[in-house]
Amino acid sequence: MKQAITITIVGVLLIGFGVFLFLHGNKQGDQTTEGLLPNLPTDTQLQANMSKTGLDPLPAEGTVLHIHEHLDMIINGQSATVPSQLGIATTFFSPIHTHDSTGVIHVESPVTKDFKLSQFFDEWGVTFNDSCLDSYCSDSTHKLIVGVNGSPITNARDYVLKAHDEIEIWYGPKDQNPTLIGAYNFEPGL
């Protein structure tokens, strides 16, 4: 009888711990990009970052402009995860955000206007330009390449996001010449 009670108590504690992790392990600020890039900003940081980059907080996702892009980030041969829920706070949305960690970027705005690749990284709080992705910067042994639909681009900060772009940011040894990803197979409806 004592053994059955002990097993029951341990089972309840394990279930409770699992529920705690589920409820508290999915909140903004807790997700990582596999240690390669910074965590998500807190709601307060996100709002400050959005303000600096000219993005207005929205009470809901916009519907006038609704396009999607896909982002791949390869750092020294490893895929860096695009974080889930980037640009989604407890009480507001950014017009540029993610819903999951597939790399699909959602641009959902109440107005039609240009949104730039730099705004995505600025709201995240990650340094991004033609030479650097966070602390991964071109130097004597490494290079950074930004490509769209399989072709390298320059002035990547000013690149205007377009529907169904495949964007790749590649950082690695200077002597390597990667084949950039040309397209992404978007799910129907995106």
**pLDDT tens digits for 178-188?**
999 999 999 99
For residues 69 and 147, give the distance between their C-alpha atoms in angstroms, rounded to a whole number. 13
Q: How far is CA 34 from the centre of its chain?
A: 12
For residues 146 and 178, give the distance between their C-alpha atoms in angstroms, rounded to a whole number. 11
Return the number of other C-beta atoms located less than 10 Å from residue 76's C-beta.
13
Q: What pLDDT band is residue 11 in, cutting at 50, 70 and 90? A: very low
Helix 117-124 to helix 43-53 angle (10° resolution) is 150
DSSP SS3 for 131:
coil
Q: Which domains does the chain have, with CATH numbers?
A: 43-173 (2.170.130.30)
Instruction: Tell me the pLDDT of the chain averaged across its residues.
Output: 86
Scanning the structure block, which residue is given the tokens 């959902």?
A: 108
Per-residue DSSP letter, 82: P
| Greatest distance between any 2 Cα atoms in the chain | 72
Specify the pLDDT at position 120: 98
Q: What pLDDT band is residue 10 in, cutting at 50, 70 and 90? A: very low
